[in-house]
């Protein structure tokens, strides 16, 4: 119940609800309308970027569960995108598995390997753990490049479009709906996780692991579980990406991409599921926009800038990251929260 003096709930069920006020339901309705209208109002070019955002968001939510909520840094996200991609490509192209099944298998395999690479978390913390995930990334990158079996010696491997009957799902418009559902489910699951005891245990491990242990939380097992979830979601993202791009090459799964994902959750907001989505949008869309500006400049007298574009992009990213770390360590999610609060009590200042 929302009154002038605040929000009151008369049952625990209501108190646990994600939304309490009419304004919150209204915003949800707006969001629903937005995602339905979006694909009709964007060109194929920009819609493809929306799809890339949705794909990145899946892995970013996973990484935020691991890093933002559980407090364990991973530099191996790209490696697990690769595990998902190579697995589904091989299962569909060589073993002729149907795509949905092979994507699920790829997710589970990535989760399993992720648990394995998460084992050092039983012993290591902080920087040392980060280095051990870096090692995992190096091992995986190395396998993608060097293990000829993965690509039957071609250096890359095809992954087909999904089919419905005899129809091939190729257009960005169709992919948008598929990805909207999958990413929506991942976000839903991520948000739910932190409404339950399991999610609270993850946060407890991040905040005070000794107290968590003394409260009976199985700290070691949950750390490994968090790795498994993050790597599984990276695998899911990578597998879908493989079918979206239709080709799997090792260049996409290098350490640089892992860093991009870390940047994503920092910019979006550590410890926020929505933040992971904002971060994915920011880190995908901004470079695309810069590229676009670059192309239009090419026609003008600024062509010298074009050659510098990659450097400009990197510098800008570095700057953005530093600015967020310094001024809003809780990212875009926190900014949005503050904006909502501001308007809720507007025009009063307190």
Partner 1 sequence: MSRAYRHNLNGSTLEAGALQMEIKDITLRFGGVRALDGVSFNVAQGDIHAIIGPNGAGKTSLLNCISGLYRPQVGEIVFHGGDRGDRNLVRTKPGAIARLGIARTFQNIELFRHMTVLENLMLGRHTHMSHHLLASFLYYGPAQRQEIRERELVEEVIDLLEIQAVRNKEVGALAYGFQKRVELGRALCMQPSLLLLDEPMAGMNAEEKEDMARFVLDVNDLAGVTTVLIEHDMGVIMDISDRVSVLDFGRCIADGAPAEVGSDQAVRDAYLGQEANA
- Which residues bind to partner 1, rule: CB under 8 A? 12-13, 15-16, 189, 192-193, 195-201, 203-204, 206-208, 210-219, 225, 229, 271
In contact, 280 and 53? CB cutoff 8 Å: yes
The tokens for 237 are 């993202």
Distance CA 335, CA 158 (A): 41
Write down the least CB distance from residue 200 to partner 1, Å: 5
Whose structure tokens read 């010696």?
153
Write down the least CB distance from residue 111 to partner 1, Å: 10
Write down the least CB distance from residue 2 to partner 1, Å: 15
Q: Which residues have CB under 8 Å from 16's CB, separation 6+?
A: 195
Write down the least CB distance from residue 233 to partner 1, Å: 11
Write down the least CB distance from residue 288 to partner 1, Å: 31
Distance CA 28, CA 188 (A): 13
Q: Which is nearer to partner 1, 46 or 194 (CB)?
A: 194
Q: Which is nearer to partner 1, 197 or 300 (CB)?
A: 197
CA 47 remoteness from chain centre? 18
Write down the least CB distance from residue 5 to partner 1, Å: 14
Q: Which is nearer to partner 1, 213 or 328 (CB)?
A: 213
The tokens for 215 are 């409260």
Q: Which is nearer to partner 1, 12 or 350 (CB)?
A: 12
Q: Which is nearer to partner 1, 169 or 189 (CB)?
A: 189
Write down the least CB distance from residue 71 to partner 1, Å: 10
Give the closest residue to 329 by CA, choosing from 256, 271, 261. 271
Q: Which residues have CB under 8 Å from 67's CB, separation 6+?
A: 73, 74, 230, 262, 265, 270
Write down the least CB distance from residue 72 to partner 1, Å: 16
Which DSSP category does 69 fall into?
A: I
Distance CA 154, CA 133 (A): 28
The DSSP secondary structure of 92-157, one letter per residue, reads HHTS---HHHHHHHHHHHHHHHHHHHHGGGGT--HHHHHHHHHHHHHHHHHHHHH-GGGGTTSSEE
Q: Which is nearer to partner 1, 191 or 286 (CB)?
A: 191
> Which helix or strand (DSSP H or E) is residue 198 part of?
helix 197-207
Distance CA 94, CA 7 (A): 57
* First CA to last CA distance, the chain: 21
Write down the least CB distance from residue 210 to partner 1, Å: 7
Distance CA 68, CA 207 (A): 11
Write down the least CB distance from residue 211 to partner 1, Å: 4
Q: Which is nearer to partner 1, 154 or 218 (CB)?
A: 218
Report the DSSP pairing between strands 167-168 and 163-164.
Answer: antiparallel
Q: Which is nearer to partner 1, 188 or 302 (CB)?
A: 188
Q: Which is nearer to partner 1, 34 or 188 (CB)?
A: 188
- Count of beta carbons in the 10 Å neighbourhood of residue 62: 33
Q: Which is nearer to partner 1, 44 or 207 (CB)?
A: 207
């Amino acid at each position: 119940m929302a009154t002038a003096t605040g929000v009151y709930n008369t049952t625990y069920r209501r108190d646990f609800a994600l939304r309490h006020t009419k304004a919150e339901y209204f915003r949800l309705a707006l969001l629903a309308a937005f995602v339905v209208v979006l694909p009709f109002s964007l060109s194929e070019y920009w819609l493809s970027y929306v799809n890339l955002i949705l794909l990145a968001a899946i892995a970013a939510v996973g990484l935020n569960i691991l890093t933002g909520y559980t407090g364990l840094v991973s530099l191996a996200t790209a490696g697990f995108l690769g595990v998902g991609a190579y697995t589904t490509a091989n299962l569909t192209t060589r073993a002729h598995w149907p795509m949905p099944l092979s994507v699920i298998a790829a997710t589970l395999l990535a989760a399993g390997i992720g648990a394995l690479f998460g084992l050092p978390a039983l012993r290591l913390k902080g920087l040392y753990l980060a280095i051990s995930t870096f090692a995992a990334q190096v091992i995986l990158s190395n396998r993608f490049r060097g293990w000829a079996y993965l690509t039957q010696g071609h250096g890359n491997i095809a992954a087909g479009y999904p089919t419905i009957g005899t129809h091939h799902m190729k257009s960005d418009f169709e992919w948008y709906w598929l990805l909207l559902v999958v990413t929506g489910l991942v976000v839903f699951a991520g948000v739910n996780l932190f409404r339950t005891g399991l999610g609270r245990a993850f946060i407890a491990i991040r905040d005070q692991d000794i107290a968590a242990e003394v409260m009976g939380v199985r700290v070691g097992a949950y750390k490994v579980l968090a790795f498994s979830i993050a790597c599984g979601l990276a695998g899911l993202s990578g597998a879908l990406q493989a079918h979206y791009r239709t080709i799997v090459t090792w260049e996409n799964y290098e350490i640089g991409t892992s860093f991009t994902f870390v940047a994503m959750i920092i910019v979006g907001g550590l410890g926020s599921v929505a933040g992971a989505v904002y971060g994915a949008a920011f880190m995908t869309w901004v470079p695309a926009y810069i590229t676009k500006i670059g192309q239009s400049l090419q026609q003008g007298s600024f062509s010298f800038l074009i050659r510098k574009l990659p450097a400009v992009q990197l510098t800008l990213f570095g700057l953005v990251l530093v600015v967020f770390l310094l001024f809003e360590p809780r990212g875009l999610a926190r900014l949005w929260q503050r904006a909502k609060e501001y308007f809720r009590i507007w025009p009063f200042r307190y």
